[in-house]
Structure 1
Amino acid sequence: MKTISLLIMALLTACSSQPPKPLRGEFSAISPEAYQKNPIKNLKVRWTGFVVDVENKESHSCLTIMAKVPDQFARPSKRIRVDQGRFIACKPKFLEPAFFLKKAVTVTGPVKKIVNSKIDEMTYPYPLVDAQVIYVW
């Protein structure tokens, strides 16, 4: 009986220390900031951070995300508060700004290209992710 209890505890511990099912898989370890310096088209990434802007267009919507270091669950780490640049994640549907603004999210999908856009008067090179999953924490 004791062996079964230990086995169940070990399995529960193993299951609880990985990302949620929609965020599992093989992804590049490159950060958005490193990607800006060495862009590789269609690299599959899993990036996390906080939504700072939502832009809705006729055919798609995009989130601008301030990237953070992920924890073991692929969400923004509460212990490591290092910025990792910014990135844009787009989906071919409407994304409600009131739901996404200032929320922690994790995005998976291929990076398509660098998009230059303004932050105030500064031009910033955003990696653009074709979001397959946008997971809100």
Structure 2
Amino acid sequence: MKKLLISFSALLLTACSAIPEKLQLAADTPLTNYQDALAVSYSDSVAQARWGGVIAKVDNLKDSTRIEVVHFELSPSTRPKQKDETLGRFRIYYPGLLDPMIYKKGKSITVVGNIAAPESGTIGEHPYQYPVVKANAVHLWKDIQQADVMLVQNPFWHTPSYWHHYRPYGHNPVVIRRSSSKVKKSSSAGNKAQNKTR
């Protein structure tokens, strides 16, 4: 059982750290940090970035889509790690239409592209200087579904009949019940067992 749990954990970590194909870059690709963006020489069009964050605003322009993003650091999978603080915002320019009903406010996004000259704008009435990325690729992340998990002992579980006895209460296998409304309820047998323990 222990080996099974270790294998499952390793598989989960591998899946979580996998970078989406369109965001992958050669290992030796030089990337500009968000903090250094305003110091970049924009005459050098090869300055690249792989940034991410949460969408704050989407504007469909004549030949492109402009996305305003609240910047967050990236995980090993390049998914933005949302925190209570951010270093600032930046703008993405994507060559073509991105539907604002899909790329909507609050969604996590990661972009790969070239850094362009910063733009002046405002956040509310506050003047703001936006770093800009001309996108080669963008990736919209799916929402993570979370569920509360409760571990309980099932005192009615018993060993195979040829052992001719029940296991002591403290040594019963653990039953996992998902308490989130988004996850299917436990089986009726499991529910009956729960009711008997109350």
Normalised-by-shorter TM-score class: 0.7 to 0.9
Q: Distance in 2 between matches of 1:106 and 1:114?
A: 19
The alignment's C-alpha RMSD in Å is 2.3
Superposed displacement of residue 59, structure 1: 1.3
Q: Distance in 1 between matches of 2:37 and 2:22?
A: 23
> Which residue is equivalent to 1:4?
none
Asked if residue 46 in structure 1 is aligned to residue 50 in structure 2, the reply is yes
One-letter code aligned to 2:72: K
Over 3 Å counting, the alpha-carbon distance change for 1:120 and 1:131 in structure 2 is same
4+ long deviations beyond 3 Å:
12-16
One-letter code aligned to 1:24: Q
Q: Distance in 2 between matches of 1:27 and 1:51?
A: 25
One-letter code aligned to 2:126: M
Asked if residue 136 in structure 1 is aligned to residue 140 in structure 2, the reply is yes
Q: Distance in 2 between matches of 1:58 and 1:22?
A: 25
> Which residue is equivalent to 1:6?
none
Over 3 Å counting, the alpha-carbon distance change for 1:28 and 1:81 in structure 2 is farther
Q: Distance in 2 between matches of 1:127 and 1:45?
A: 11
One-letter code aligned to 1:62: R
Over 3 Å counting, the alpha-carbon distance change for 1:27 and 1:67 in structure 2 is farther
Q: Distance in 1 between matches of 2:54 and 2:31?
A: 20
Gaps of 5+ in 1: 1-8
Over 3 Å counting, the alpha-carbon distance change for 1:39 and 1:125 in structure 2 is farther
> Which residue is equivalent to 1:108?
112
Superposed displacement of residue 108, structure 1: 0.4
Question: Which protein shows a greater Rg?
Answer: 2
Q: Which of 59, 77, 86 is the aligned partner of 1:83?
A: 86
Gaps of 5+ in 2: 1-7, 142-198
More relative contact order, 1 or 2 (CA 8 Å, 6+ apart):
1
TM, length-normalised to structure 2: 0.57
* CA deviation vs aligned residue, 1:71-125 (integer Å, no higher than 9, x gap): 11011125x5541211111112111111112210000000111000111111111
* CA deviation vs aligned residue, 1:34-74 (integer Å, no higher than 9, x gap): 323x1332310000101100011111111000010111101
Residue identity (%): 23
> Which residue is equivalent to 1:3?
none
